Structure 1
Amino acid sequence: MGSAFTLTLANIFMWKWEKQLVHRLKVSNEIYGRCVDDIFFTSNDSLESIDQMLDEANNFHPNIKLVRQIGRSAPFLDVLIENRKGTLITSVYHKEAAEP
């Protein structure tokens, strides 16, 4: 992500969008997690609604690019999070590049 100052600027820059997202998820009793530039959240909204929300963030500035992974399972940091009939199950996730 770059220097500490770059990280601070990115946090400030994204705060408005992130604040709206967190409020929306809190009202819906969803889960939100963030570590530096990795974001994870759950949602029962339609795929169209989620795509629209992420497109708004990506169109906020040309230097911002959120990569989405939507499905019943998703890696977040070193954890694989799976939705099994409404219950989140976690397991250790190894990135392919990290394999010996």
Structure 2
Amino acid sequence: VLYTSVYHKPSAEPCVVPFISDHPRYTFSNIIQTALVRAIRYSSTFAAFNIERRAIRLMLLFNGYPSTYIDQQFRKVFGNSISSTSILPLIDNEGQFSELRNKLMGQPTSRQSQVEARITQSKDDNGQYP
């Protein structure tokens, strides 16, 4: 059985753009959402995902992100996968994790979408010029 998880360089600090920096507001939500999607895609087990989820939260808190903002972004990513009665935006069990992971794995990454768009553009260009 192959188990996978997110790789972190041993020498790398857990840093992202600080919340108080002068970046556009969408930058901060993108950082959180991208980190979570990466964790879901790369973690083959619920346990590996939970370890990465905690590391993401700690990294964000360390860089000044408010806990309520972090929770709000977690809820956006987890969407319908979390219980509506849950106070915390967490995935409670392996089944919820597997469902969310399968849904994300079925979607193309942004890189895959870019490649497909280039292929389509290339086909269109080649069709116009015999």
Select the structure of larger CA radius of gyration: 2
State TM-score, norm by structure 1. 0.22
Name the structure, 1 or 2, with higher relative contact order (CA <8 Å, separation 6+): 2
Indicate the structure with greater helix content.
2
State TM-score, norm by structure 2. 0.19
